Amino acid sequence: MKLKLPSFKTKKEFPSQFFAIDFGGKVAKIFVLNVSEGSYSALGSRRLDVGEDNFEEQFKEMVAELRAEFPEAEPLAVVGASGPETTAFTTVVRGSPGHGIEDLAKHAQNTAEESAEKELSLSLGDQKIGVTGLESEILEVKEADKLEVFIFSSFATASYQEKRAQLVKRAGLELWGFSSLPFNLITDLAKEAGEGELNCLIFDVGGSKTEISLVFGGQLMETKSFWWDFVENGNPTAFLDLWLEAVSSTLSDFEGVELFPPKIYLAGGASAFPGLQEVVISYPWSRDHSFDVAPEVIPLPEERLPLSLGQVALRIKEESEEEEA
């Protein structure tokens, strides 16, 4: 069940070919995706360093190249959201069976927005920060003695959205909306694992930020992020030790976790940083955190995260079919 959101425009039919963009921390990635028969694939792509002096002009040129190569692709873009200026989590709201699902969902959304604004204001050190919702979706409804509604929500600062929205529009694309990259990757992985079987941590290690997602039962429970620039230096061992300390500190920010899941997925371009996978495998996670066993560490291809934005189209198409049925 999808709640109506201001960030996503209503269309009768989502196109089969569209643009998916991950602006990333240091490298922006642009894809043309094709959706067909319940799956998606990349038709073409471009990469661009975010730090380029003429980034906007090069971005516009790359979009134009892809539009020329794939003229059937609609100039419509879904933008992935992740990093310290965003947050995402699942909220559980309980009420008596007499309560309406929509009322409970709206209450959950209001509560989630308040929590997101407080968290982002604190982490970014700006008490006047503007926070708006990106997406909200009812994941599950359980009815027994009490009605339980599980709702996923994602948020970002207003400046985060505005900057990326302007880049998309100036490149000649229509912005469909923003969607949480961790949420879409988890949807991908959960389909592979089987319903309710995915329990893991995801370390999205970007060039300038690291985002950690906590997943139980195939659902994204919460994300935490911190800034971290991955650069080659004279002492990579000490550099990675400091990064691990930051990761460990971030894990401590997850509240109410009795036992962390025994699996860690490594995603993002900087996850290929020399020695990073090895130190994640060898780190004594159970020393400071509640791990029952040493977690299995599974690296993912760099493009797996942004490509998962194809899940947006699959969800929308599925919802359209359900409404027509």
Which residues lie below 8 Å from residue 216, measured CB to CB, with a gap of 6+?
199, 261
Task: Write the DSSP symbol of residue 231.
Answer: -
- Structural tokens at position 183: 């949420």
Q: What is the CA radius of gyration of the chain?
A: 20
Residue with tokens 């190249």: 65
Q: Which of 145, 153, 221, 212 is nearest to 190 (CA)?
A: 221
Q: What is the pLDDT of residues 134-158, one digit of tens each?
A: 998 888 888 877 788 888 999 999 9
Pair 20, 31: CB distance under 8 Å = yes
25 vs 179, which has greater pLDDT? 179
Q: What is the pLDDT of residues 204-263, one digit of tens each?
A: 999 999 999 999 999 999 999 999 999 877 789 999 999 999 999 999 999 999 999 999
> Is-above-0.85 flag for pTM?
yes
d(CA 89, CA 4): 18
**Residue 297 three-state SS:** strand
How many angstroms separate the first and last alpha carbons of the chain?
15
Q: What is the pLDDT of residues 275-322, one digit of tens each?
A: 999 999 999 999 999 999 999 999 999 999 999 999 999 999 888 777
